[in-house]
Amino acid sequence: MRIALYPGSFDPVTLGHLNIIRRASRIFDRLCVCVMVNSGKQPMFTLEERADMIRRTVSRLENVVVETSEDMLVKYAKDIGADIIIKGLRAMSDFDWEFQMALARKIIEPEIETLFMASSSKYTYLSSSVVKEMAKYGADLRDFVPREIMGDILARMGK
Ligand code: ADP
């Protein structure tokens, strides 16, 4: 069974993330979406809140599971038997850092491959930060995030 891991901070999950989840879930037997800590960012939602929001949006995808972890990415991948890490690429600006990290992971854990999936052109502009910026002003979020979680974001922003 081929297990792939799609890691990220997903603070919160966007339609861009969901697009990658759907497409990756068609390629692999099982896709584990893991909400992880990004020490460089101050999160709006806890790891569990973020995982719960993703679970609500992927409940119909039978081979997708959603977990949280504070571990190192390659260690977590190994623990769950995933030998593929999926990364979504929006633009060249994502590439530099992701490429460096993929090479570093390969040194630590040579058996694990990183696969880059190109963002759908519809969502290349979209990031969790864009969503938070829009939500601050109570904007309509329907073009940015799954409808199941729109209320959670606006409520957290006090809107
Ligand atoms: P961000 O805060 O930038 O949205 P995340 O850590 O939550 O970043 O992203 C998790 C993964 O999803 C990363 O591989 C990232 O490149 C990818 N990703 C984020 N937004 C999109 C998008 N709009 N389209 C495709 N991939 C994306």
Cα of 66 to ligand 1 centre, how many Å? Answer: 16
Please give the tally of structural domains in the chain: 1
Residues identified as active-site: 17, 41, 90, 128
pLDDT surpassing 90 at residue 108: yes
Closest CA to 17 of 39, 34, 40: 34
Could you tell me if 126 and 15 are in contact, meaning their C-beta atoms sit under 8 angstroms apart? yes
Cα of 133 to ligand 1 centre, how many Å? Answer: 16
DSSP the chain: --EEEEEE--TT--HHHHHHHHHHHHHSSEEEEEEE--TTS--SS-HHHHHHHHHHHHTT-TTEEEEEE-S-HHHHHHHTT--EEEEEE-SHHHHHHHHHHHHHHHHH-TTPEEEEEEPPGGGTT--HHHHHHHHHTT---TTTS-GGGHHHHHHHTT-
pLDDT tens string 7-48: 999 999 999 999 999 999 999 999 999 999 998 889 999 999
pLDDT tens string 62-100: 999 999 999 999 999 999 999 999 999 998 888 999 999
pLDDT surpassing 90 at residue 143: yes
pLDDT surpassing 90 at residue 124: yes
Q: Measure the CA dihedral 38/102/35/89, to 10°.
A: 100
Query: Which of 5, 9, 15, 17 to mutate to test ligand 1, by most ligand atoms within 8 A of the CB atom?
Result: 17
As given in the structure block, the two tokens for residue 104 are 């570093």
Cα of 62 to ligand 1 centre, how many Å? Answer: 22
Instruction: Give pLDDT, residue 41.
Output: 87
Instruction: Give pLDDT, residue 91.
Output: 85
Could you tell me if 146 and 13 are in contact, meaning their C-beta atoms sit under 8 angstroms apart? yes
Residue 13 belongs to domain with CATH number = 3.40.50.620
Domain, as residue range, for 115 = 3-156
pLDDT surpassing 90 at residue 159: no
